[in-house]
Copies of this chain bind each other. A is one copy, B any other.
């Protein structure tokens, strides 16, 4: 993980569709050497995967919402069970257990209010372990990146 690897990771996080030759030129290496580095970053798991990032609006998912959840029973196994249940929902893109007043936080990608209604119905019905939940809607997105600073 020297300076060249870091630069490669930075470039690949921004745009992984560039050709190996371009990347090689950018970091000042030959294509073969550059390719071997990238492959190593894959094999060692630093690069987890290559994915297409969609434009949510054009993919029909304009609405974003954040739900914070407080459980009745806060034990680890209960939190885990709730997270597992939430993770199964395709509209849930992030699900965390967190420190502090609330136990869990969900980030949602929604098509419309009906979808939210149906989802909360499924996750927060009476027999569930949820004491309270609070839904906030995203009004404006100032930043949204998959890029991790290296």
Contact = CB atoms under 8 A, between A and B. Distances in A.
Interface of A: 9, 12-17, 44-56, 58-61, 64, 66, 79-80, 83-84, 86-87, 90-100, 102, 104-105, 109, 134-150
A49 B149 contact: no
A48 B44 contact: no
Contacts of A17: 16, 49-50
Given A83-B142, A136-B99, A50 B49 contact: no
Contact of A148 (B56, B95, B100, B102): B56
Contact of A58 (B45, B86, B139): B45
A49 to B, nearest CB: 5
Contact of A97 (B12, B50, B96, B140): B140
A142 B84 contact: yes
Q: Which 10 A-B pairs have the closest CB atoms?
A: A83-B142, A12-B52, A95-B142, A90-B149, A87-B143, A17-B50, A95-B143, A98-B136, A100-B136, A97-B140
Q: Which has the most chain B C-beta neighbours within 10 Å: A54, A87, A92, A141? A: A54
A117 to B, nearest CB: 16
A44 B150 CA distance: 31
